[in-house]
Structure 1
């Protein structure tokens, strides 16, 4: 009898904490859901907008310059539901509320912003972080620290660099989507699915930046007319500072070297022995990177194989023969190898190993790394002097249905 009574008491004690599972609940209507954050440098005169929410009175202001953040906050009941886009309210009501705040750090700006809001800021649904190019070039140590420490921020958030002000993208009004953040998110996600952008989420950027033999990259965006957003390339970093950008086609070079599929970029080439232009579209990539040590220096070898289709020919009178295809493949191979080398040399001049050659050295030549390199700063020096050999093999698989 005592054993049964003890079991019943034990079960009751274990179930008691489950009865209080909602004691700290917070209704969704009581949250200020942040969808996107834009970070810019503050302009002269913006210091008047600062608040003393985080400042001790009579304390000297920090030496770091002011920044301005622009946030998009979802308005409950106005976000489109389902495929019909019905928001349940008047059509002229905006689904997001765009607010700005000025401060010395990200948290300082957000605390100043919180003083203006009735609801608590919530970052669990944050999808995009946009930084202006000027902020990225000065260094994003503070931004990285804040988003690493914030437990609500997911590692699948997209962090991007804008060519102009980040606030312009925050205030853009695209025609295909009522919620600007969702349109920007769809632009990035669909580009990744089509092979036009690598999978470089915030977590991937953090991992690459923390590695001793690699640097991080993020998408580089430019706002065009009619509020459409162009993926202009990639912005790459060195020690938390943006040091350069790539072109859109160089994204394809990067993905080919890293063996990231599917292939989504096309190149314009001239058919050998003719004035006819053709379009070659990459569909699949294979790559192998090896590193060796010769005379105390690092040598990298890249063996890349690219397959694709001939999707367009400007002059249908010019026949696509076997001989022409072989010459076209050889020309694409030569131009691609030169393009790869130029891009790698560009990153070497900037001292940013975005390809992760240093990680290959750490893995394959650990004795050399532990004796000669050891630190990330030393690898940056050696990366500038490293020799790279690129070997390309291009295969045109399909030429279309209209041929002879």
Structure 2
């Protein structure tokens, strides 16, 4: 009996140092923020907007504009202003019965006015909270951030899901908050940010406010200076050696559409800086592989000369897009392509002595040699239009 009693006492003593659930947080006490927006008011104050799912509305198989069977939204937006990010967030928290939790936030939207004023403060307030993830996508919009979050897309339950899926789509450069922070700190580089806008659906029985990718916003330091859209957005991605899959419609020498559509499958770009008599020169080599999508010219692509003609037109298209991006970087004194980083890596001493203090002004004095080589790797299942020469008489 004494031995059993001793074992019992020993076991009880072992249980004493074990920690209990003293700091538990019930899921019913938490509001999961799936997306947030930052705007700048006219009086200079900061507006914070959060998107929070409504657990009671999450049921139902289908529905419009929010994903419930009755068509009601399964989330809600709330907003507040303050002199700082944290002050606005604290004021918003004061009227919420649940504690906001940012660990599941995957998208952060900033309005154009915030981008113009500077985004460096975002990289102070966000990383200080362990719940915020630097892997989240940071997206810009030309209007207000809350207007983008007010979109009513039909395909997804939350607008935040649409923003996230578009941000990592195969035709967009995948860049998160960490990538932009690195670009702000790396020598000889300026950040670029994906930007999206709300857009009305067309020819739909029930109108909806969808979200579309417009291109990239170009920054000088932490401030917005310009935008890259359409062909310039493609040229920027190619210069950054981002092998996105993008569709191209070729033009002839007069600038008229040719009716030839291609999808650029793979891009390999090399940028090599050279110092010749203390004059900086960049040799840019681009190798592209493309797939034919359509040909309204009814060219016989079994003939090598026709294939070579399309490849030459694609070479000109890619080169023109790249040159436009370079000219915009020179015009805005913004090194979006990170040419300065290539110089710093190749010539660290010369960079420190000659270029670092005045960069990116050195972009305007440098020479650029762009060489593009394209290859049409696929024409589809046919060489020419199946009706050509086979019409019934």
Mark yes or no: TM-score above 0.5. yes
For the 8 Å contact 1:252–1:263, the answer to whether it is kept is no
1:93-150: per-residue Cα shift (whole Å, max 9, x none)? 5321210101122111101111111222211011111111122112123222212322
Q: Report the equivalent of 1:54.
A: none
RMSD: 2.8
For the 8 Å contact 2:291–2:376, the answer to whether it is kept is yes
With normalisation by structure 2, the TM-score equals 0.85
More helix by share: 1
For the 8 Å contact 1:271–1:328, the answer to whether it is kept is no
SS of residue matched to 1:349: helix
Q: Equivalences for 1:5-404 in 2 at 5 Å? A: 19-20=18-19, 22-43=21-42, 65-79=44-58, 84=61, 91-189=70-168, 191=169, 194=170, 196-225=171-200, 226-270=208-252, 277-316=259-298, 318-320=299-301, 321-375=303-357, 378-403=358-383
SS of residue matched to 2:134: coil
Distance 1:100 1:268 in 2: 46
1:170 deviates by 1.4
Which has the larger displacement, 385-394 or 68-77?
68-77
1:319-356: per-residue Cα shift (whole Å, max 9, x none)? 33321221221122123212211111101211221222
CA distance 1:271–1:173, shift in 2 (3 Å): same
1:61-118: per-residue Cα shift (whole Å, max 9, x none)? xxxx11222211122343469xx56999874553212101011221111011111112
CA distance 1:20–1:248, shift in 2 (3 Å): farther
Distance 1:167 1:132 in 2: 8
Distance 1:286 1:89 in 2: 45
Distance 2:258 2:72 in 1: 52
SS of residue matched to 1:334: helix
Distance 1:116 1:275 in 2: 56
1:401 deviates by 2.1
Deviant stretches of 4+, over 4 Å: 84-90
1:402 deviates by 2.3
Q: Report the equivalent of 1:5.
A: none
For the 8 Å contact 2:234–2:321, the answer to whether it is kept is no
Distance 1:209 1:186 in 2: 25
Q: Structure 1 unaligned runs (5+)?
A: 1-8, 45-64
Q: When the two structures are aligned, how many residues end up with a matched partner?
A: 364
Q: Report the equivalent of 1:52.
A: none
CA distance 1:296–1:152, shift in 2 (3 Å): same
Distance 2:23 2:54 in 1: 23
For the 8 Å contact 1:214–1:357, the answer to whether it is kept is yes
For the 8 Å contact 2:67–2:73, the answer to whether it is kept is no
For the 8 Å contact 1:147–1:153, the answer to whether it is kept is yes
1:315 deviates by 3.9
Q: Structure 2 unaligned runs (5+)?
A: 1-9, 201-207, 385-393
For the 8 Å contact 1:266–1:279, the answer to whether it is kept is yes
With normalisation by structure 1, the TM-score equals 0.82
SS of residue matched to 1:20: coil
For the 8 Å contact 1:132–1:164, the answer to whether it is kept is yes
SS of residue matched to 2:246: coil
Distance 1:32 1:39 in 2: 19
Distance 1:103 1:73 in 2: 20
Distance 1:341 1:301 in 2: 13
